[in-house]
């Protein structure tokens, strides 16, 4: 399980407009370097740093789902909405599509249950296919999007790009999950980073299997952010 308990990411800084403009520019530059060919920001240039970003982001999303009153579904979790402050702590940002979580609606409820339907919101590549298909929003839709972010952090790939073995662009889920399920996590890892230490390799394998669970096709089978 993702070991969560604190809520520093997003708990005190729920929206971008509350951040000083200069700091926000620095956050955006650091975020953009995950996919850039220029020297990477320190936070994304090591496996330890990327794992810390993943944990901070998970804590922020868990806070919204479990501890916020009322609970909140972000609806647009993606790498572009995870910002880094001067201490390289990840902050969940941009709550423009967020929705209050209906406590009576479970992830395994029939579609259409749990309140008024919402227009489909999110970003292509990160959006939960089940939510898009059934128009039934639960916290497991954020879990799916977080799984995509985990795969981005592991691979350094953009959410949609052309891979060497593919003619047409692929989602990072289509690229990474088959390798992970075949116990070939090393084939997913960003080649720009040094080879992980044995401890890092173990943690990355765990994160890979967790990401695969997060992007599962059935929402109620995905872990919660607390799990």
Place of tokens 């209906």: 102
Tell me the angle at which helices 172-181 and 139-155 cross, rounded to the nearest 10 degrees. 80
Q: How deeply is 164 buried, as exposed, middle or buried, from its count of CB atoms within 10 A (0-12, 13-18, 19+)? A: exposed
76 belongs to the catalytic site: yes
Residue in 76, 94, 139, 142 annotated catalytic = 76
d(CA 133, CA 209): 25
Q: Which two tokens stand for residue 127?
A: 């959006």
* DSSP secondary structure letter of residue 127: S
Beta bridge partners of 100: 72
> Which residues form the catalytic set?
76
């Amino acid at each position: 399980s993702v070991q969560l308990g604190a809520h520093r990411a997003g708990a005190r800084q729920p929206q971008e407009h509350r951040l000083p403009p200069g700091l926000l520019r620095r956050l955006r530059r650091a975020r953009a370097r995950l996919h850039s060919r220029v020297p990477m920001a320190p936070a994304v240039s090591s496996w330890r740093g990327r794992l810390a970003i993943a944990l901070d982001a998970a804590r922020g999303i868990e806070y919204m789902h479990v501890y916020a009153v009322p609970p909140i579904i972000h609806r647009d979790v993606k790498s572009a909405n995870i910002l880094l402050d001067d201490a390289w702590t990840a902050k969940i940002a941009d709550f423009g599509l967020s929705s209050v979580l209906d406590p009576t609606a479970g992830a395994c409820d029939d579609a259409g249950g749990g309140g008024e339907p919402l227009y489909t919101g999110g970003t292509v590549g990160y959006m939960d296919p089940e939510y898009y298909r059934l128009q039934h929003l639960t916290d497991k839709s954020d879990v799916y999007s977080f799984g995509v972010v985990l795969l981005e952090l592991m691979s350094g790939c953009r959410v949609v790009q052309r891979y060497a073995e593919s003619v047409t662009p692929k989602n990072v889920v289509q690229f990474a999950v088959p390798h992970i399920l075949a116990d070939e996590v090393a084939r997913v890892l960003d080649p720009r980073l040094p080879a992980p230490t044995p401890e890092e390799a173990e943690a990355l394998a765990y994160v890979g299997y967790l990401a695969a669970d997060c992007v599962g096709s059935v929402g109620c089978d995905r872990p919660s952010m607390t799990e």
